[in-house]
Amino acid sequence: MEMVQNLIRNLSAAEKLQFYSYHTKPVLNFQALFTDGSSNYMNPVEPKTGDEVTVRFRTARENAEHVFLCVNGEKKEMQIASKTERFDFYESSFFMGTEIADYYFEIHSGGTCCYFNKKGPARDLEPFFNYKVTPGFSTPDWAKGAIFYQIYVDRFANGDTSNDVLNREYIYINQPSKKIDDWYRYPEEMDVRNFYGGDLQGVLDHLDYLKGLGVDVIYLNPIFVSPSNHKYDIQDYDYIDPHYGKIVVDEGNTLPDWENNNMNASKYISRVTDKRNLEASNEFFIHFVEEVHKKGMRVILDGVFNHCGSFNKWMDAERIYENQYGYEKGAFVDANSPYRHFFKFYNQNAWPYNDDYDGWWGHKTLPKLNYEESRQLYDYILNVGRKWVSSPYNADGWRLDVAADLGQSEDFNHQFWRDFRTAVKEANPEAIILAEHYEDAGSWLMGDQWDTIMNYSAFMEPVTWFLTGMEKHSDERRGDLLGNTQAFVDAMVYHMSRFQYPSLMVSMNELSNHDHSRFLTRTNQTVGRTASMGAEAANQNVNKGIMRAAVMIQMTWPGAPTLYYGDEAGLCGWTDPDNRRTYPWGREDQNLIQYHRDIIAIHKDEEALMKGSLKYLYGGFKVIGYGRFTDTEKMVVLINSGFDEARVKVSVWEVGVTDDEEMVEVIMSNEEGYTMEKKVHPVTSGVLDITLPRVSAILLKAVEIEK
């Protein structure tokens, strides 16, 4: 040791620096470590059995001594394949087998060993977050990053008044149907039997509006025959409801004031059981899809297969099919019904008119379908799945209502959805299958069941808590989650880890929908519902700056941004049923609509936003920054939801920005509106020093400095 010390003393300053650089072990730069499942770091992204899969991993330049790819328990050292000024890119390959590939990375540097998976760098490995790839699992390319637009048909536009539900056309949940003549009237507290007249013709009439907004996919809430305005109580899976389609035979009468028996609802019976109306409505749907497709858009349907409705022709609890030509007796009516085992009856001695059956969550209006005891039902619903995505109807996929509830056991549920996927994909390989699901959907997203989900846990909920501090129904306010960046990131990392990459890229990223309060109402940070606060209170003290920030996140996050009709026009509303207000034709917020048009166009134009990797860059109270990037395009999103300016220093080098580039604002929004002025911000040593206005959202893009 003394000899070494004497040697060092005799070295020049330059020689000492060289000696220490050579003999000192590097400190591992954790911020530089990166990979993901995108095409930037994995090729092919959707491998099949037998494919050679090449995986990349990024470290700081000359910072790692060894990088290992660990696949299904086998460890293989990676080699440097390319370099940039700041980074080394390691590569290795493996052959895709017949089973799911489970992989992570092991990095060694300066005596330090760390692991890397979806959780990021860590001293200890948590296999829960490992990358997983299922051979042969792919999702439709048209849906990756697509703009979805959800339409609750009765409330969007009335294009054909001849098919409107009439006053006292029938009785639903002990009260008559009601036709609402004032389009702008708020929904009632008990609104299920109120109809505003929206229909498929109304959607057709506004296709140019949707196309101009930038919509790629129209998602329709249920449109099959049903007595409610929400239509999650299907009456007939084989036909489009003539109230949304075409009524060509309009016989019979509405119910007189003293009559409450639907057996005598002759007008309703004529409208929804006469095959001429049903066939005309199906023909109209064929035309509808053709017109949507001509505009370059697609259509997905709502599949309600866990339960049906008490009006359903298989149950016929309202006895409207009992005496109709061409229909078998319903299970409620007759013990010998061919549909008896489609449902679970508790009392086997209560026929005729047996009302002792299993209802979903106990609701007799929603009989639960009994797949375990009826292969006929099982096959029938599989055929429904095939039918509507096949010629001549040609819908582009299914959204599955309460999909995890179907069946009586989880094992049976998984088997049904495997068979459903096979049936639908054989009929239309490009059809999408996405499910309503609130918790961990990992076991359904392994490539053999659903393509993806309505993204509550990994989008709607974290965004809502961070920006508004509100629960998605406006039923609770959490000050500890408002502006809590760490809670936001932790929730996103955890829940996004449950997706394989093909699922993530088509995940339905919503801010609002038909089951929760409108996001704009959540910005008032008020706990309430129509019953407690009144409908008008949902419009008060809202913050459109926060709304614009939410839309900025939505349009720059991995997945498929999904608009709930009217959100883009400034529609407010408490949770169901107030969230089902009519589209405010003639009363729209045109500035907010134009903001959506512009940011949707940016989303579609930028490869980094459609296909790029995601990396968190900055976090502070009510402030978050993240990057979306490819090898050639780098974009940064900065959100300040606070009511004070925020000066931040963002390490944009982490997404590949160099000192030869500067950051240019693409779009910036605040409480007053938004601007697309190309404001330039310099980058110094890989760091962007910027002041964010209050309640603002900024999207920046790296461009080369002109010399």
Sequence ranges of the domains in the chain: 12-133, 145-309+365-604, 310-364, 613-704
Write out the two tokens for 690: 């910027």
| Domain 12-133 coded CATH 2.60.40.10 | yes
Closest CA to 403 of 490, 306, 531: 306
Residue 638: its H or E element: strand 634-640
pLDDT digits (tens, 9 = 90+) for 390-417: 999 999 999 999 999 999 999 999 999 9
Over range 459-464, report the average pLDDT: 98
The gap from C-alpha 615 to its chain's centroid, in whole angstroms, comes to 20
- The reported pTM is 0.95
The residue type at 107? I
Which are the contacts of 82, defined by CB distance < 8 A and separation ≥ 6? 88, 89
What are the DSSP calls for 267-318, one per residue?
A: HHHHHHH-HHHHHHHHHHHHHHHHHHHHTT-EEEEEE--SB--TT-TTT-TT
pLDDT value for 9:
61
Residue 93 burial (CB count, 10 A)? 14
The one-letter amino acid code at 9 reads R
Average pLDDT over residues 358-372: 96
pLDDT confidence of residue 439: 87
Q: What is the pLDDT of residues 124-182, one digit of tens each?
A: 999 999 999 999 999 999 999 999 999 999 999 999 999 999 999 999 999 999 999 99
pLDDT at 3 over 80: no
Name the superfamily (CATH) of residues 145-309+365-604.
Glycosidases (3.20.20.80)
Helices (H), 374-528: 375-387, 410-427, 461-468, 485-496, 501-504, 519-522
Tokens of 682: 């310099």
Contact assessment for residue 427 and residue 447, using Cβ atoms and an 8 Å cutoff = no
Q: Which CATH superfamily is domain 613-704 in?
A: Golgi alpha-mannosidase II (2.60.40.1180)
What pLDDT is stored for residue 706 in this prediction?
85
pLDDT of residue 11: 63
Percent of the chain with pLDDT over 70: 96
Residue 18: pLDDT over 60? no
Please tell me the predicted confidence (pLDDT) of residue 110: 87
pLDDT surpasses 70 at 13: no
Task: Give the residue among 191, 204, 197 at the shortest CA–CA distance from 241.
Answer: 197
pLDDT digits (tens, 9 = 90+) for 658-699: 999 999 999 999 999 999 999 999 999 999 999 999 999 999
Task: Give the pLDDT mean for 14-24.
Answer: 48
Q: Give per-residue pLDDT as tens, 572-601.
A: 999 999 999 999 999 999 999 999 999 999
Per-residue confidence (pLDDT) for residue 17, from 0 to 100: 45
pLDDT given at position 21: 44
Q: Exposed, middle or buried: residue 323 (CB in 10 Å: 0-12, 13-18, 19+)?
A: exposed
On average, the pLDDT of the chain sits at 96
Report angle CA 139, 142, 143 to the nearest 5 degrees. 60
Query: Could you tell me which of 643, 628, 564 has the C-alpha nearest to residue 596?
Result: 564
Q: Which of 41, 48, 37, 73 lies closest to 134 in space, CA to CA?
A: 48
Q: Which residues contact 134 (CB under 8 A, 6 or more apart)?
A: 100, 446, 447, 448, 500
Q: Are 160 and 281 in contact (CB under 8 A)?
A: no
DSSP code per residue over 75-135? EEE-EEEEE-SSEEEEEEEEE--SS-EEEEEEEEETTEEEEEETTEEESS--GGG-EEE-T
* Cα distance between residue 558 and residue 309, in whole Å: 36
CA dist 22 and 72 (Å) reads: 36
What is the distance in angstroms between the CA of the first residue and the CA of the last residue of the chain? Answer: 52
pLDDT digits (tens, 9 = 90+) for 507-554: 999 999 999 999 999 999 999 999 999 999 999 999 999 999 999 999
CA dist 595 and 667 (Å) reads: 10
What residues form DSSP beta bridges with 15? none
**Is the fold of 12-133 the same as that of 613-704?**
yes
List pLDDT tens digits, range 52-96.
999 999 999 999 999 999 999 999 999 999 999 999 999 999 999
